[in-house]
Amino acid sequence: MSTIQLISEHGCFGGVQRYYVHESRETGGPMKFSAFVPPAARAGKVPVLYYLSGLTCTEETFAIKAHAQALAAELGLMLIGPDTSPRQPRIPGDADSWDFGQAAGFYVDATQAPWAANYRMYSYVTRELPQVVEANLPALPGVMSICGHSMGGHGALTIALKNPDRYRSVSAFAPISAPMQCPWGVKALTNYLGADRETWKQYDASELIATRPFPGSILVDQGTADQFLAQQLMPEKLAAAAAKSGQALTLRMQPGYDHGYFFIQTFIGDHLRHHAGYLRG
């Protein structure tokens, strides 16, 4: 188990907001993550909600912009936010596009050179990061849920659907619901996984949910004024697949909200309460 290093710590709603870095075996370099530790953790270990951010984001984005700490402190939830891709070692061309490479790991385990050695965000999020968190922070072992936004919503949905025994609940804000059918997804999956579209299905929430529903209700919020709604996000594909499999899905189309963090701030409380019900149930 790698040793984690505290980068900074800030008092926050009776708890602490921290930033850590550690050497990752999965990505082959340093990885950063944010951790909000609620005041309840002084009395004992607490449940964990993992939050996966979207394209261009870092480990700081959710902690700074979502305004989630106040209610998390009330509910006694630890919030963990990993970075969105490896940053080191550098790979030629990794910063050429805003929607691929750095800050765009898509929460997959890449199989294609040169990405396969380091871009292993699926294994990092599902295996290594929980081990690091549970070994170093007051986290209840195995008591965790997952949430995400946009690319991170895609990540949260696919990870929970593939690991229903590990996550108590899942929710998403404006997820990339059918990456096999949208430009962002096709670009990422082609480069990370290769041309065989059959291998993409394991990272497509609409494909997964049609055949392996999650044992619990999924909450998804989507703004109707989201500039990426029609071309990139396609929540109707997720809803159709859920109906096919009988998945309990609450898809809320929120009038007037766009893709940004004002939207997330508005509804993050509903998501935290959704997860707290399962984590403490």
- 168 in Cβ contact with 157 (< 8 Å): no
**Annotated catalytic residue: which of 206, 226, 274, 275?**
226
Asked about 150 being catalytic, the answer comes back as: yes
**Annotated catalytic residue: which of 259, 271, 274, 275?**
259
Asked about 204 being catalytic, the answer comes back as: no
- 79 in Cβ contact with 72 (< 8 Å): yes
- Cα(179)–Cα(66) distance, rounded to whole angstroms? 24
Structure token digits, residue 165: 């025994």
Asked about 226 being catalytic, the answer comes back as: yes
What is the arrangement of strands in the sheet containing 170-173, beginning at the earlier edge strand? Answer: 4-12, 15-24, 29-37, 78-82, 46-52, 139-149, 170-173, 218-223, 249-254
Asked if the bond preceding 114 is cis, omega within 30° of 0, the reply is yes
**Annotated catalytic residue: which of 24, 150, 169, 171?**
150
Question: Tokens 């990993």, residue?
Answer: 82
Distances in Å between the alpha carbon of 114 and those of 24, 111, 179, 199? 18, 9, 22, 18
Reduce the DSSP state of residue 44 to 3 states and report it: coil
Distances in Å between the alpha carbon of 89 and those of 35, 115, 117, 145, 200? 24, 11, 10, 30, 25
Strand pairing report for 29-37 and 78-82: antiparallel
Q: Which residues are catalytic?
A: 150, 226, 259
